[in-house]
Amino acid sequence: MANVVVVGSQWGDEGKGKIVDWLSEQADVVVRFQGGHNAGHTLVINGTTYKLSLLPSGVVRPGKLSVIGNGVVLDPQALLDEIAHLKTQEVTVTPDNLRIAENATLILPLHRELDGIRESASAALRIGTTRRGIGPAYEDKVGRRAIRLMDLADGTTLERKIERLLTHHNALRKGLGLDAIDGREVRKYLEGVAPAVLPYMDSVWSLLEEKRREGKRILFEGAQGALLDVDHGTYPFVTSSNTVAAQAATGSGLGPGAIDYVLGICKAYTTRVGEGPFPTEQKNEIGRMLGERGKEFGVVTGRPRRCGWFDAVLVRQAVRTCGIHGLALTKLDILDGFDEIKVCIGYKLDGGEIDYLPAGEHVQARVSPIYETIAGWREQTAHARSWAALPAQAIKYVRRIEELIGCSAALLSTSPEREDTILMRNPFEG
């Protein structure tokens, strides 16, 4: 039986929540492997809407084991708040259905404060983060001064680790003209949340290997999108973690040989939240229509998303950097009624043409899209549940996208409802 990785193949917000929920019905274990509570996954099940930021999407389904891997940065209070909110929706989260890697890095209040200060300091330096402390926490992880979940269980060494952390942060805060942080306050906070979060702690790498050997189906759930990858994305307007499929192995402790299928999720058009390049962005009536029809507002931030035509160049690049085997195309129904639809098939740059997005920030800002125009359709794709139910021109649009990105569609989504999904190839069957 195959183990499947789900990754966004644009700038996030591609509709991963619904697809992961759809797949989680077949999975035994659902794993988050990177990011933090900056993810925004919306699930609609039997008319009830669930909005998750940190917890794996499988947590709303009975009988599934949810896992937060070591590649995630964990805000203990955000975790407890999300668990409490789900309880109001009659979803119970306990150590029986949620396990968290003992070596996961913690997001502390000082990280959230620093993130907000940086984003407010200068428009020229703004990245467009969610101000939730994710970036600063990853910085501490790489700087080898982070507090990890397992540290909460060892009071004898916690004092020394807090001191090491604050040696860096208080020097940084002094340079920013901020008051120093008292280590006693940090310890008080950590000791306050420890009893509630430590019961979820586990050696996740060992747990997942055990499940793999038992023949359990494992679904790896990515956050954000490949174009926000800290190495392969539109740097510096990226997230602070690796979002490509290979991170599923690193961020969970399960070897790459355990990954059998990579499913890339992308919209039938393109959106982006925050700053950074966006070659096909439509700052016009088209962009407004896409945003209104698609209800394009960030689940986490509430910010309106920038909207534009489908960029085959970027998705093709994501297919290659993630090793995507099949594509889940979402929000096809948002294009219903357009007389014509444009697709970016290449870029103009300094008088020439290229078929990829360069890595340099200033070069990225200079590219302009080369469009191919495709006839639209007047019939409705919304709520279609079979290939035969789609308009002929919609099918042509999907087939042309497949040609341009070099990858076949495995799933089509035609509304937020999980049942409105057309399956061409089941990822769990390889």
Length of the chain: 430
Question: What residues have CB less than 8 Å from 33, skipping those under 6 apart?
Answer: 69, 71, 72, 220, 221, 222, 247, 248, 250, 251, 252
- Asked if 16 and 265 touch (Cβ cutoff 8 Å), the reply is yes
Tokens 């569609």: give the residue: 409
Q: Verify whether residue 231 is a known catalytic residue.
A: no
Give the HSE-up count for residue 305: Cα atoms under 13 Å, Cβ half-sphere: 25
Chain CA centroid to CA 89, Å? 23
Beta bridge partners of 370: 346
Q: Verify whether residue 229 is a known catalytic residue.
A: no
Spot the catalytic one: 37, 41, 111, 232: 41
Q: Is the bond preceding 304 in cis, omega lying within 30 degrees of 0?
A: no
- Asked if 398 and 412 touch (Cβ cutoff 8 Å), the reply is yes
Chain CA centroid to CA 208, Å? 21
Question: What residues have CB less than 8 Å from 131, skipping those under 6 apart?
Answer: 112, 115, 116, 119
Joined tokens for residue 180: 């120093």
Phi-psi region of 122 (alpha: psi -120 to 50; beta: other; left: phi over 0): beta
Spot the catalytic one: 13, 140, 202, 420: 13
Joined tokens for residue 47: 């008319």
Annotated catalytic residues are 13, 41
